[in-house]
Structure 1
Amino acid sequence: MLGKHAKLERTAIGFAIAIMVVASIGGFIEIAPLFTIDETVEDAPDMRVYTPLELAGRNIYVREGCYACHSQMIRTLQDEVERYGPYSLAVESKYDHPMLWGSKRTGPDLARIGGKYSDKWHVDHLMDPRAVSPLSVMPAYRWLARNELVIDDLPLHLRALRKVGVPYTDEMIENADQDAYGQANPNSDAVDAFFARYGNDSNSRFFDGDQRRLTEMDALVAYLQILGRLTDAADQGLREQPVTAEGTNL
């Protein structure tokens, strides 16, 4: 067998053909499931898009490398479901670009962290992780409370996401910066227009507790508080079969 392999390596054309054949097999295995995507991805009529402020927070989350220590993918294993909540559905990441599922967990999975803790808890945790979790190895992110959030480019972000299928309207794109401001400032004149575009189920409050300015802390906390709450698909009877300890349905 080794002799045949050595002979193949000495034949440039043959070796190139062998590489193409193997790559084609791998490519087919990866691409084939996409032809059944409509059958494998759950339907979620109530799925909503990220607001501009939440999207800005997601960008900060990616920028700071939070995904390197926190996954957003609860697997079907019973111990994970009991610890983190219902296992992740594909539809819940429908508007995520890039997707942040992952499997690396230096810290806990954050797929359903939204609403689990108060805004103040998140702010305290980001300012000094060990103040609320003594055994945490997470670094502090104090500069987020000092950095003013850049919102002028948010319309460009929404426009780019619409090109890959996220259903932002022209009105949402044109008013993205004002909607970000309105969501983080419930006393502003922009809040009513924000709710009109994104629905009354959206949140508007001083996420970082500071009413004077809009910060990166506002955006990141807003994003963390929506994780797992863009749709109720996980609680709408899509998991009727119990999960076993091995992670398979009975």
Structure 2
Amino acid sequence: MPELFHRKLERSAIGFVLAIIAVASVGGIVEIAPLFTIDETVEEAPDMRVYTPLELAGRNIYIREGCYACHSQMVRTLRDEVERYGPYSLAVESKYDHPMLWGSKRTGPDLARVGGKYSDFGMSRILSPREVVPESNMPAYRWLARNSLKIEDLPLHLEAQRAIGVPYSEEMIENATRDAYGQASPGSDSASNVKERYGAETQVRAFDGVATNVTEMDALVAYLQVLGRLTDAAFEDTAAPEEPPEPIE
């Protein structure tokens, strides 16, 4: 009986087209319907901040070098992942990520909460992995410490991000080049302005250990050091539970 129905359907061009549309519509509805409730499903994070120009440049380098191909940025809700990497990832933590870098491949460890886990020097060493773990199959990225970071076009990068919903102000866009330099040059006049625009918790220092030049290593390390630290929303539910009330006698 099913074979007979299938044969009849194949011989009817209109019926076959309608069947394809019906099946495709089911898949489309499953993907599109949740978008209508996105305001209810994405958590609130009043303390969420945007990437600084230097961090955004580091993110661009992370994408350029294909780091996302081997490292995911999404801690799943599985117990072993939470115990290894920390609180599971929330949707709001990727609020300003365009494109998102959740990934699914883990040739290397997940990096969703790597920010603050290592010192800047430690991060730089990891980018030459065989000096740390000789059997590592991760390639070295030593040239990042030699390449000066291109910061002149960062206002255009911030404008592009604002066009797709990231709330960069005109002041942030106008000062993007100066802020990128200032964040990696703590002794400069521009350093204090970075914290004024992006918050007191913004990290300002020579991320590659050299304050005389802003390098691609500065940018990438700055980006890695804020992964999982742009908001504390994921840690709010992990606070120690309150003491149970005294039993009623």
TM-score, structure 2 length as denominator? Answer: 0.92
Using the TM superposition, name which of 142-151 and 57-66 deviates more: 142-151
Residues 14-163 of structure 1 aligned to structure 2 (within 5 Å): 14-126=15-127, 128-163=128-163
CA distance in 2, matches of 1:147, 1:136: 24
Superposition deviation, residue 113 in structure 1: 0.1
CA distance in 2, matches of 1:29, 1:240: 37
Unmatched segments (≥5 aa) in structure 2: 242-249
The match for 1:191 is 191
Contact kept? 1:61, 1:220, Cα under 8 Å: yes
Distance 1:2 1:152, change over 3 A: farther
Contact kept? 1:145, 1:208, Cα under 8 Å: yes
Superposition deviation, residue 41 in structure 1: 0.9
Q: May I ask how many residue pairs the two structures share in their alignment? A: 240
Deviations 1:26-80 (A, max 9, x none): 1111111111112211110000000000000000101111000000010111110
Paired amino acid for 1:168: Y
SS for the counterpart of 1:237 is helix
Superposition deviation, residue 121 in structure 1: 0.9
SS for the counterpart of 1:49 is coil
Using the TM superposition, name which of 103-112 and 4-13 deviates more: 4-13
Deviations 1:150-172 (A, max 9, x none): 11111111111111111100000
CA distance in 1, matches of 2:178, 2:106: 36
Q: Percent identity?
A: 72
Structure with the greater alpha carbon radius of gyration: 2
Moved over 4 A (4+): 238-241
CA distance in 2, matches of 1:165, 1:24: 28
Superposition deviation, residue 240 in structure 1: 9.1
Superposition deviation, residue 133 in structure 1: 2.8
> Over aligned residues, Cα RMSD in angstroms?
1.6
Using the TM superposition, name which of 134-143 and 12-21 deviates more: 12-21
Deviations 1:214-236 (A, max 9, x none): 11111000000000000000111
Distance 1:32 1:174, change over 3 A: same
Deviations 1:123-169 (A, max 9, x none): 1121x202223342110111111111111111111111111111100
